[in-house]
C-alpha cells in the first residue's frame, strides 16, 4: 500500500481509446487502498467501440461518469478540446491521464490543465532526441520497432514502460517514471507487449502516487537512447513496424 503523504487530492479523468486495462488497474488500486488521494471521477472514451467502456463500468465506475467524446464529431481540434474541458469541469476534474488514448489531445486542453496531464507510452522515450515515440508510434508498433532496433544494433536488450507529461507534440512531454524489462531472444512484439503490460500499469499507478505526494521528478538520460549513427536504423525500424501493424 502507498504510504507517502498526501499533499494534493486528484479528481482523475481516465482517457481511453481501447481495452482500458490500465484504467481498470488504476481504479482497482484506488478501490483497494493501494493508491490514496485519487478519485476516479470520469472516464472519457474517444470512440463508442472502445472495449474499456464496459470494462470500467463492470469494475465500479458509475455509467453516468463514463462518456464518449469522438473527435470526428467536432469541426476542429479547438471544438473537440472545449468538449473535453467542459465535461471535465462538470465533474470537478483537476487531473487527466491518457491510458491508451490514441487521438491527439487539443492544445486548449493542455493549456486548461497545465502540468496536470500524463500519458502512458509502451516504449523508451528520450524527449528532444530520436526515440520510440512520435506520430504513428503506439501499441504493437512500438514493441515491433523496439525489437527490430535492439536486434539490429545488438545492444540495450531491453524496453521500457513510460509515464510522461502531455505536450502539444506527440511524446515530447518530460518523462516522470520509466521501468525496463529485458528483451528475450525468442520475444515477438506480442510476447513483449504481454510481459510489459503489468509493468505499464504499475508505472502509471506509482506516478499518480508520486504526484499526490508532490515528489514526482522529471527524468533525463545522460546518454542518448539512439546514437547518431543509429538514427537511420531506428527510422527504418519504425517504418517497418508501421507496415507490419497497419492498425497499430
CA distance 167 to 153: 30
Residue range 8-114, CATH number: 3.40.50.170
The per-residue pLDDT string of the chain (248 residues; one tens digit each, 9 = 90 and over) reads 566 788 899 999 999 999 999 999 999 999 999 999 999 999 999 999 999 999 999 999 999 999 999 999 999 999 999 999 999 999 999 999 999 999 999 999 999 999 999 999 999 999 999 999 999 999 999 999 999 999 999 999 999 999 999 999 999 999 999 999 999 999 999 999 999 999 999 999 999 999 999 999 999 999 999 999 999 999 999 999 999 999 99
Q: Tell me the three cell numbers of residue 50.
A: 472502445
pLDDT tens digit sequence for 50-59: 999 999 999 9
Residue 224 · residue 129 · CB < 8 Å = yes
Helices (H), 161-228: 189-213
In this prediction, residue 1 carries a pLDDT of 59
pLDDT tens digit sequence for 19-43: 999 999 999 999 999 999 999 999 9
Q: What is the pTM of this model?
A: 0.96
Domain ranges, ordered by start, for the chain: 8-114, 122-161+176-248
Strand partners for 38: 10
Amino acid at each position: 500500500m502507498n504510504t507517502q503523504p498526501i499533499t494534493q487530492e486528484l479528481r482523475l479523468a481516465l482517457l481511453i481509446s481501447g481495452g482500458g486495462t490500465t484504467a481498470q488497474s488504476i481504479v482497482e488500486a484506488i478501490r483497494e487502498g493501494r493508491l490514496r488521494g485519487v478519485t476516479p471521477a470520469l472516464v472519457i472514451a474517444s470512440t463508442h467501440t472502445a472495449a474499456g467502456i464496459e470494462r470500467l463500468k463492470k469494475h465500479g465506475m458509475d455509467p453516468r461518469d463514463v462518456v464518449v467524446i469522438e473527435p470526428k464529431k467536432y469541426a476542429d481540434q479547438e471544438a473537440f478540446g472545449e468538449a473535453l474541458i467542459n465535461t471535465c469541469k462538470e465533474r470537478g476534474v483537476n487531473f487527466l491521464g491518457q491510458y491508451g488514448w490514441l487521438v491527439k489531445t487539443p492544445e486548449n486542453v493542455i493549456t486548461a490543465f497545465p502540468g496536470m496531464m500524463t500519458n502512458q507510452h509502451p516504449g523508451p522515450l528520450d524527449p528532444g532526441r530520436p526515440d520510440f515515440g512520435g506520430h504513428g508510434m503506439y501499441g504493437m508498433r512500438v514493441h515491433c520497432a523496439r525489437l527490430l532496433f535492439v536486434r539490429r544494433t545488438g545492444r540495450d536488450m531491453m524496453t521500457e514502460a513510460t509515464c510522461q507529461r502531455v505536450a502539444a507534440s506527440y511524446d515530447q512531454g518530460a518523462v516522470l517514471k520509466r521501468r525496463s524489462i529485458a528483451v528475450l531472444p525468442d520475444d515477438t512484439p506480442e510476447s513483449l507487449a504481454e510481459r510489459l503490460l503489468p509493468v505499464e500499469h504499475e508505472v502509471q499507478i506509482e506516478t499518480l502516487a508520486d504526484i499526490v505526494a508532490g515528489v514526482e521528478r522529471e527524468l533525463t538520460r545522460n546518454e542518448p537512447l539512439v546514437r547518431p549513427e543509429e538514427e537511420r536504423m531506428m527510422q527504418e525500424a519504425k517504418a517497418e513496424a508501421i507496415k507490419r501493424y497497419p492498425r497499430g
